[in-house]
Structure 1
């Protein structure tokens, strides 16, 4: 019986030994690869930051352009109103009236010279 027990024990040991685990070989990332990955991440972050900064600058500039266009439109309207006032105030009849009534001037046709533009 002793022989049979020994053979049985050897068979169990052989079966245990044949059941080895397959270990996955873990791929280690080298320092150079880490450096390259870090450089790529830093460059990507820098590019995204530059793009966002440019969009913010463009937005601010567009806002200034719209404000200036509104100011220009307002100034054009004011200039048109002033031009109309100049036309009304420089009418020859009005000037003649003011000169004769308020300033006491008289019109002497012999002393008037006509100037052509």
Structure 2
């Protein structure tokens, strides 16, 4: 399940970078980018919860990060629909996502990462 979750989050990262490029250019992204970004993050989160339910308790920090990332993403969407781009929201979303993704990759590639 951890490989599936990391794969979904890799797609999320790719779509997120593509969305960031559009945002930096002040252009509207392609209509499929946001749903794929959000959808792959949701599917990856489901796989993450399944991995935790199978006994991999090392991933609890990742769950907390995922909740925070999602909260910042919802706030970004809320303000974006009203025509505002609040840079600190974007930066918090991105920085937490980078920490989350590197942690996921480390747990996936190195099975003993985080164990005593």
- TM-score, normalization: structure 1? 0.25
* Greater RCO (CA < 8 Å, at least 6 residues apart): 2
User: Greater Rg, structure 1 or structure 2?
Assistant: 1
- TM-score, normalization: structure 2? 0.25
